[in-house]
Structure formats: C-alpha cells, structure tokens
Amino acid sequence: MPQLFEQLFENNKKWVADTLKKDPEFFKDLAKGQTPPILWIGCSDSRVPANDITGMKPGQVFVHRNIANMVVHTDMSMLSVLDYAVNVLNVTHVIVCGHYGCGGVITAMGSQQVGIIDNWLRHIKDVYRIHQKELEAIADMKERENRFVELNVIEQVFDLSKTSIVQNAWRNKRKLFVHGLVYDINNGYLKDLDVTIENGDELPKYYLLDQSFINK
Ligand code: CO
C-alpha cells in the first residue's frame, strides 16, 4: 500500500514541525543521550503503545515488546534489553504490561495450531497449568480470559525477579521495582495488579542465586 507508506513520511514531517514549535531544542536535547527511568515490557499488539498510554515523551521509556509480553529466560533479546536497561541505563522501574483481549493469551487457552508461534505460546500454557484450578473455577469465559491475562503478567513479574540481572541489582542495593500492570483496551485505563517486587524476599529460596559470583 504505497499511499499508506508515503503517509508515514507526511506524518513524520508534521510531527517534527509540531514538536519543534513546542520545543525548539527537543531533538538537540534528545541527541545527547537517554536516561529513561522506566523499562517497559509489553505486548506487540498495535493497540498498546507504551508512550502514548502513559503520556511519556521520547527519552522516558525504554521499551521491549513481544507477543503476550513474555519474559522467557532464554530469550537473548529480552535479556539484553533487561541487562542494558538495569546496568547501563540504571532504570528504577521495570514494568510488565499485559492487556485484556490479548490474542496470544487467548490462543494459548485453546488447542488451535497457528504456526511457529505455537512454540512461543507454549510458555503461556505453562502459566495456565500452574493456575489451572483457579482459572477453570471461573465459569464466564471472558472473565477467565481476563484473569489469565493478569496471571500471565504476574508470572512474568516473578520471572523477571528470578533473573541474575535483577537479583544482582537488588544485592548491590539498587532501587529496582518490578511492576505488573494490565491495560484495558475497552476503556484505555491501566490497572496496577499490586504485585510490585522490590527485593528477592518473596521468591522461593531455590530461585535465589548465591552472590559469590558478583563479589569476586
Ligand atoms: Co497481546
């Protein structure tokens, strides 16, 4: 669709002009570097743009997005983003943000084969297995889906705190909060799931790594 493609550049020119009108130094300042206080791990869904829904400007949020906002501990891309955000950019908040109506989460509840993505969604099925009892006690399918979205976010918050990256930051007395949020695509509101973790105390002992490595 060439027309749509051209539209991108039209929009971009207008955005540059509007931005400069509000702040002539905007690009000059941003070009100096970034010190975002937030790392956002969200879904790739086109309806959930991190900066727009939180009113954050360019430079304020470091963003990683994948299908169903997953923290998969063998995902080199996620680990690299997390490491850079925590250890180089020194972010204070890591936010996992899911959203109701998430196609990835809903698909993971069923058995339809979609393609390569089935292997990614398998991680979400594991979350279902852990919470199967709670989920299947919810008769209304929409409510069950919504709860599954929430439980998936909570599981990713725990998965973040299991990483050596986050644990070492805490051990080094860094202020680092890991939050779980859900975005409601029906009304635009963000909901805090109140599962913020700020140290490893809540984790089962077998997830806590010994610190001899970083003290060397
Ligand atoms: Co989604």
Q: Which of 18, 23, 29, 43 is catalytic?
A: 43
Give the Å distance between the CA of 11 and the centre of ligand 1: 26
Give the Å distance between the CA of 103 and the centre of ligand 1: 5
Span 34-213 CATH architecture: 3-Layer(aba) Sandwich (3.40)
Cβ neighbours for 215, distance < 8 A, ≥ 6 positions apart:
none
Give the Å distance between the CA of 46 and the centre of ligand 1: 9
The residues placing their C-beta within 5 Å of ligand 1, an ion, are 43, 45, 102
Task: Give the integer Cα–Cα distance in Å for 148 and 150.
Answer: 5
Q: Which of 102, 123, 159, 179 is catalytic?
A: 102
Q: Which contiguous run of DSSP H or E holds residue 64?
A: strand 61-66
Could you report the per-residue pLDDT of 91-124, keeping only the tens digit for each? 999 999 999 999 999 999 999 999 999 999 999 9
Give the Å distance between the CA of 98 and the centre of ligand 1: 7
Query: What pLDDT, on a 0 to 100 scale, did the predictor assign at position 214?
Result: 60
Task: Tell me what percent of the residues of the chain surpass a pLDDT of 70.
Answer: 97
The dihedral built from the CA positions of residue 35, 39, 45 and 49, taken in this order, carries a sign that is negative
| 184 in Cβ contact with 99 (< 8 Å) | yes
What is the DSSP annotation of 191-206?
EE-S--B-SGGGS-GG
Give the Å distance between the CA of 97 and the centre of ligand 1: 10
Q: What amino acid is encoded at 45 in this protein? A: D
For the beta sheet containing 190-192, the strands, ordered from the edge strand earlier in sequence to the opposite edge, are 61-66, 38-43, 93-99, 177-183, 190-192
Task: Give the integer Cα–Cα distance in Å for 87 and 1.
Answer: 41
Has 99 been annotated as catalytic? yes
Structure tokens at 46: 């086109």
Has 45 been annotated as catalytic? yes
Confidence of residue 197 (pLDDT cuts 50, 70, 90): very high
Has 29 been annotated as catalytic? no
Q: Distance of CA 120 to CAs 32, 76, 117, Å?
A: 37, 14, 5
A 10 A CB-CB count for 176 gives 24
Could you report the per-residue pLDDT of 9-19, keeping only the tens digit for each? 999 999 999 99
Give the Å distance between the CA of 184 and the centre of ligand 1: 11
Q: What is the CA angle 63-28-14, rounded to 5?
A: 75
- Among the listed residues 60, 66, 39, the one whose alpha carbon sits nearest the alpha carbon of residue 165: 39
- Domain assignments of the chain as residue spans, ordered by start: 1-32, 34-213
The torsion angles phi and psi of 194, rounded to 5 degrees, stand at 55, 45
Has 102 been annotated as catalytic? yes
Has 171 been annotated as catalytic? no
Confidence of residue 209 (pLDDT cuts 50, 70, 90): confident
Could you report the per-residue pLDDT of 37-74, keeping only the tens digit for each? 999 999 999 999 999 999 999 999 999 999 999 999 99
Q: Which of 64, 97, 99, 179 is catalytic?
A: 99
Give the Å distance between the CA of 96 and the centre of ligand 1: 12
